[in-house]
Structure 1
Amino acid sequence: RHIITVSRATALELRHFYRVPPDKIAVVWPGIEAAFRTSPPAERLAAVRRQYGLDTPFVLAVGARRPHKNLTRLVEAFAGLATVLPHHLVFAGQADPRFPDEARQGVARHPAKLRHRVHFLDWVAEADLPALYALADVLVIPSLVEGFGLPALEAMACGTPVVAADASSLPEVVGQAGLLADPRSVRALTEALRAVLTDDVLRRNLAAAGRRRAARFRWTEAARRTLRLYDTPPRPRHAMQSLREGGDWRLGDWQLEIERKD
């Protein structure tokens, strides 16, 4: 029996926290739905903009609001930009009732700056996400820990620039197609957001690089690699020979070839 996991970062956590032998772990990157690879038509963008009241340029954060999402620092980082840029901050995702809502608490600390600049879309239909990504000027995902980081991949497929934490699985997903920032540094998050929001050339370059990067993540490829794990008898290998981006991923008996296409 083997454990198939979606990222190298999660594979390392399985080894560290659960003492899973490396020859029992295989990494298979997931894909994304086809809807995120097609630009929504103008009328669809307009409808989603009206539905959620998004009449200003905005920074988007997608996902449930939980402590590991690092939203206190994100709100502080955005507060540093609110007086110099016209953008709003939009949270798409519900708060987890088990934890304090750190995003709302952060807004409450800056009422004059943020009361009318931060929006909480507690529930967003899956069908609306491609348009929401396409409307955003940047997706920010400052999480301290992620198993994979699907919103980053979805945004890149939509041509939306990504600012992500330089932590956990996110560098593995984003690669060099987005800006990575120290998630424990408010200043680093602020400067990464400022760079994307004030530099049109950088934003266009990141959008193009993100689309190319996202094209590598396909469910057909994930299925092929998963089937290969079932069909191929294990071969002895040294554990963890390489973690290099673009190289071969070897963990114990299994080898998953990650083709470098960028």
Structure 2
Amino acid sequence: MKIGIDARKIRDFGIGIHLENLIRYIPEHDAENEYIIFHYPGDETRIPQTGPNIRLVPDHSPKYSLQELVVLPVKMRRQRLDLFHAPHYTLPPFRPCKAVVTIHDAIHLRFPEYLPHPAAYYYAKWMMWAAAKSARKVITVSECSKRDLITYLHIPPTKIEVVYNGIEVCDQSLLHDSKPCQSVLDRFEIHCSYLLYFGNFMPHKNLETLIKAYGILKRRYQIPQCLVLAGKNDRLKETLHTLIQQEQVAQDVILTGVVEEAWKSSLYACADLFVYPSLYEGFGLQTLEAMAHQIPVVITDIAALTEIVGEAAVRCDPRSAENMAEAIYAVLSNPTLKASLIDKGNVRVQAFSWRAMARKTVEIYHSVLQEAQQ
């Protein structure tokens, strides 16, 4: 049978990592079905072609457009697909085949004020509802997200499958070699040891509270660490620069901009501590990535992060810069606590695997195809 996967978001921050690993490990779990990967021209090198049953089909349809809702179904019919998997909520509701959709989180429904325009809320809500309605199965990445989808979209619980994201084991040589650290310091002009945030720069990531917490740490405890905020920051750059000036920490906060994949592992491995200040997450992959690099983690006490991290991180109140500062300092000032968090993190990451994610996703494909034949 033929299964199509929409990989047009393979360059996106979180969904892109998810897609790359799903496609990479599918052939290990399914050598019989043929997989048709729809992609933007130029993205061929981003798509793992790890088996003879992976075939690429280019598509130009813009994301979040009317065109994708029309053109993709035409290509599904042309490719004679038996099943189509949308890794995001933009699933064409009228198709010639069965479908599975992955809805990673319900952030647009929980925090509509973060969307660029009120119309975006109604678009997102309708598309999520239509995708959940027409798909045979809805995949999400945490029990927290499952509860949100049930609450906001009224999806029957039996229709939703929770499939956790995974984590790759990092190159252990990075953890004991000073050369990569010096290289990353030079590359991003980091002048001291540092605390790290790595991820998207969106309003719900709560970076303003983190910057205020860092200001408290500098004033109250004179910590020597810089604060490195890594990731594409176009949307919030001006706001963050203003706040950094107000907190009088301009000399100690570094915004790296986009981090190339080649530098990502070293940036994690050389940090003193990773902070994830988010107000809401569907999963929180970066916390696992930090743990895999054997650095301690501080997270906000929100449902998805506590579900994924368990007891392997110190938690703080996402709305309190004071509480966040104290949580960070508790780790920096206590070597025993720091070592304990690293040990717990080493254990925790063993529960998450991209291979397992791909295997469970393939099992869902097979179950939907079998139901269609009955």
Same fold per TM (> 0.5)?
yes
SS at match of 1:80: helix
1:143 matched to 2:250? no
Correspondence list, 1:204-215, <5 A? 204-215=339-350
Which ranges of structure 2 fall in alignment gaps of 5 or more residues? Answer: 1-135, 369-374
Amino acid at match of 2:172: T
- Give the distance between the partners of 2:237 and 2:243, measured in 1 at CA: 11
Gaps (5+ residues) in structure 1?
Answer: 234-262
2:237 paired with 1:103: no
TM-score by length of 2: 0.58
Shift of 1:207: 1.1
- In the alignment, the residues of structure 2 paired with residue 44 and residue 213 of structure 1 have an alpha-carbon distance, to the nearest angstrom, of 25
User: Secondary structure at the residue paired with 1:82?
Assistant: helix
Shift of 1:37: 5.4
Aligned to 2:351, what secondary structure does the other structure show?
coil
For the pair 1:90 / 2:228, whether they are aligned, the reply is yes
Structure having the higher Rg: 2
Contact 2:291 2:345 in 1 (8 A): yes
Aligned residues: 229
Do the aligned partners of 1:9 and 1:169 also contact (CA within 8 Å) in 2? yes
Cα deviation code 1:51-99 (max 9, x no counterpart): 11223111101112111011111111111011321111110012243x5
Aligned AA (1:28): V
What letter corresponds to residue 143 of structure 1 in structure 2? S
Give yes or no for the alignment of 1:19 onto 2:157. Answer: no
Residue of 34, 38, 53 corresponding to 2:172 = 38
- Structural mapping, 1:102-141, within 5 Å: 102-111=239-248, 114-141=249-276
* Matched-pair contact (CA < 8 Å) for 1:65–1:101: no
Q: List aligned pairs for 1:1-262, cutoff 5 A.
A: 1-34=136-169, 36=170, 38-40=172-174, 41-83=177-219, 84=221, 85-97=223-235, 101-111=238-248, 114-232=249-367
Identity of aligned residues (%): 37
In structure 2, what residue type is equivalent to 1:44?
Answer: P
Contact 1:65 1:103 in 2 (8 A): no
TM-score, length-normalised on structure 1?
0.82
What SS does structure 2 have at the residue aligned with 1:33? coil
Decide which structure has greater helix share: 2
CA RMSD of aligned residues (A): 1.7
1:231 is displaced (CA, Å) by 4.0
Cα 1:91–1:221 shift into 2, 3 Å:
same
1:116-157 alpha-carbon deviations (Å, 9 max, x no partner): 011100111122111111111111001001121111110001
Q: Is the 8 A contact 1:67 1:102 kept in 2?
A: no
Aligned mates of 1:230, 1:147 — CA distance in 2: 22
